[in-house]
Chain A
Amino acid sequence: MTGNRVRVRQNATALWTLVTKEYFRIVRIWVQTLVPPAITMSLYFVIFGNLIGRRIGEMDGFGYMQFIAPGLIMMSVITNSYGNVVSSFFGAKFARHIEEMLVSPMPASLILLGHVAGGVIRGLLVGFLVTLIALFFTELRPEHPFVTMSVVFLTAVVFALAGLINAIFAKKFDDISIIPTFVLTPLTYLGGVFYSISLLPDFWQKVSLANPVLYMVNAFRYGILGVSDIPIDYAYFIIGVFIVSLYSFALLLLKRGVGIRE
């Protein structure tokens, strides 16, 4: 009994140590972690929102700038929560200081949670920055604050988990850019960040529905603007399924020691 309580306290210390380490890593290398998304997103807002957007007119009853702002926020949350875990975990594997955790009594589930927390923190920090930038260009007043906050948080969790799995399998630096380039970027660009799928022909609308990012972006847009191409409960359901399955898979890989133990 007391043994268990000691264990719980030690685990809490271990998790807190990992989370703060991840947080300070993000802050320490802010030029790599926080500045690039801020610059890219500012460019998107200026070029797509402002210059081109004026010619596009309305999308789903909103100005184009207002329409893409939620999409761009989500896009940066997705890439950054993914990117943080992939580079932090792969970096630790590559330089072998992952062994500091592996030799310690810290269970695999905490190694997982700590890294995911790091990804979520970076995703949300960047999301917050991009929101601030968006406010220079347009007005954003969440229609459904709870939906907005929960969707952005859960989406960050999904992609932090995905990034962890990518890092577990990665053997060289190339391997941590392949998935983002060939899978993540296409999915987000085609996930309704820049357009409403109602613009697409029937067939492509159906194809788009197979893209999980579409649900997340639309749920978030619904949270802010109150419009969505898809029903919101679908979005929660899909996000939930992804979290549960990615979590179980990542935990299994860590417990087996895939990519980290001979």
Chain B
Amino acid sequence: MRALQIRGLTKVYDNGMHALKGIDLDVEEGEFCALLGPNGAGKTTTIGILTSLINKSAGSVEIFGHDIDRDLTLAKACLGLVPQEINLNLFEKVLNIVVTQGGYYGIPRDLAMERAEKYLRQLQLWDRRDEVARSLSGGMKRRLMIARALVHEPRLLILDEPTAGVDIEIRRSMWSFLRQINAAGTTIILTTHYLEEAETLCRHVAIIDEGRIIENDRMSRVLRKLSVETFVLNLDREIQAPPRLPGYEVRMVDASTIEVDVQNNRDINDLFADLSGNDLRVVSMRNKANRLEELFLHIVDNKAAANRGAS
């Protein structure tokens, strides 16, 4: 079953801003999909249309086979949304917010209470259930929005930058929480600017830029497209000049640290062999940037260059 099918989705805002220029996107049931793109790319606009907070200009959207123009009620019942901007009633109590949202979805109060407790506990908010939302920290408000989005147990959960401004410990616990509900069968679409997060969590990735999808594939296949990876190597001693390593681009960072670009048709074993040949030992090594991050910059830069060429 297909969780989401978008065809030719277009959005022109009232001020003439052409935010989406014909987007096609499929997400299979059970998928954990990253929707990435620079600021202003059109991620929130796309999500807004799926969740009927924004009217589309053209195109079609089906959620679990329910077209949002014909079967909006059924489509909405399948969806849970964690929006980018905090949209909580700050004067309402935490527990009431979740239970009330359940009520809007037609969930009887007892059941809504039960689920609210379950999700608030899992998101470490149960102790604060009787406090008003205003008294929560930013990260807690985000978690509250996740609990609120789950009270009707949607088949497709959409999270628009859920981890923005969330500390690393909580972020990791959110990751394991999201993995868990994904493993239990919930399809997830996630936008984030932390590409490490997308790489760790998501099996599928779609990249959107200036209102167009420019990449849409399995995460592993997308990462394989990365033609160059840069490694940072710490050496066991100081050197005067970069070592000569034929076929690799080498730069010095400081006296005992070098950066090496490795084409993806070469393997790292050769690199180590060459270093040993230069009588250099590697103490430690790391990727210069997250792989997805590098790819992302690469793709978006290429496109910008192409656009410059065209204009």
A103–B53 CB distance below 8 A: yes
Q: Range of interface residues on chain A?
A: 20 to 34
Tell me the B29-83 residues at the A interface (CB within 8 Å): 48, 51-55, 72-74, 76-77, 79, 81, 83
Q: Which residues of A contact B85 (CB under 8 A)?
A: 96
Quote the shortest CB–CB distance from A31 to chain B (angstroms). 14
A104–B55 CB distance below 8 A: no
From B79, B101, B107, give the contact of A100 (CB < 8 A): B101
**B124 proximal to A (CB < 8 A):** no
Quote the shortest CB–CB distance from B63 to chain A (angstroms). 12
**B201 proximal to A (CB < 8 A):** no
A100–B87 CB distance below 8 A: yes
Chain B, residues 205-217, CB within 8 Å of chain A (1/0): the string is 0000000000000
**A190 proximal to B (CB < 8 A):** no
**B88 proximal to A (CB < 8 A):** yes
* Known contacts A103-B79, A105-B76; is-contact A261 B55 (Cβ 8 Å): yes
A102–B52 CB distance below 8 A: yes
From B14, B48, B53, B103, give the contact of A13 (CB < 8 A): B103
Chain A, residues 55-85, CB within 8 Å of chain B (1/0): the string is 0000000000000000000000000000000
**Interface class of chain B by DSSP:** loop
Q: Which residues of A contact B74 (CB under 8 A)?
A: 105
Q: Which residues of B contact A99 (CB under 8 A)?
A: 53, 81, 83, 87
Quote the shortest CB–CB distance from B297 to chain A (angstroms). 30
Tell me the B141-157 residues at the A interface (CB within 8 Å): 148
Stretch at the interface among A14-22, A45-53, A162-170: A14-22
**B89 proximal to A (CB < 8 A):** yes
Nearest opposing residue in chain B for A107, CB measure = B73
Most chain B CB within 10 A, of A9, A96, A107, is at: A96
**Interface class of chain A by DSSP:** helix
A261–B105 CB distance below 8 A: no
**B108 proximal to A (CB < 8 A):** yes
B104–A106 CB distance below 8 A: yes
Nearest opposing residue in chain A for B80, CB measure = A103
B100–A14 CB distance below 8 A: no
* Known contacts A16-B103, A105-B77; is-contact A100 B148 (Cβ 8 Å): yes
**B13 proximal to A (CB < 8 A):** yes
Q: Which residues of A contact B109 (CB under 8 A)?
A: 13
| A95 to B90 alpha-carbon distance, docked (Å) | 8
**B138 proximal to A (CB < 8 A):** no
Nearest opposing residue in chain B for A99, CB measure = B87
Q: Which residues of B contact A9 (CB under 8 A)?
A: 106
* Known contacts A13-B108, A105-B73, A262-B13; is-contact A95 B55 (Cβ 8 Å): no
A104–B76 CB distance below 8 A: yes
Chain B, residues 90-108, CB within 8 Å of chain A (1/0): the string is 1010000000110111111
A14–B103 CB distance below 8 A: yes
Nearest opposing residue in chain A for B72, CB measure = A105
**A11 proximal to B (CB < 8 A):** yes
Quote the shortest CB–CB distance from B237 to chain A (angstroms). 59
Quote the shortest CB–CB distance from B70 to chain A (angstroms). 14
Quote the shortest CB–CB distance from A122 to chain B (angstroms). 17
Quote the shortest CB–CB distance from B85 to chain A (angstroms). 7
A92–B89 CB distance below 8 A: yes
Q: Which residues of B contact A226 (CB under 8 A)?
A: none
**A144 proximal to B (CB < 8 A):** no
Tell me the A1-60 residues at the B interface (CB within 8 Å): 7, 9-11, 13-14, 16-18, 21
- Please name 7 further chain A to chain B contacts, defined as beta carbons within 8 Å, in addition to the given A16-B103, A101-B104, sorted by A numbering: A7-B73, A10-B105, A18-B104, A100-B87, A100-B89, A106-B104, A106-B106
Binding site for B on A (CB under 8 A): 7, 9-11, 13-14, 16-18, 21, 92, 95-97, 99-107, 257, 261-262
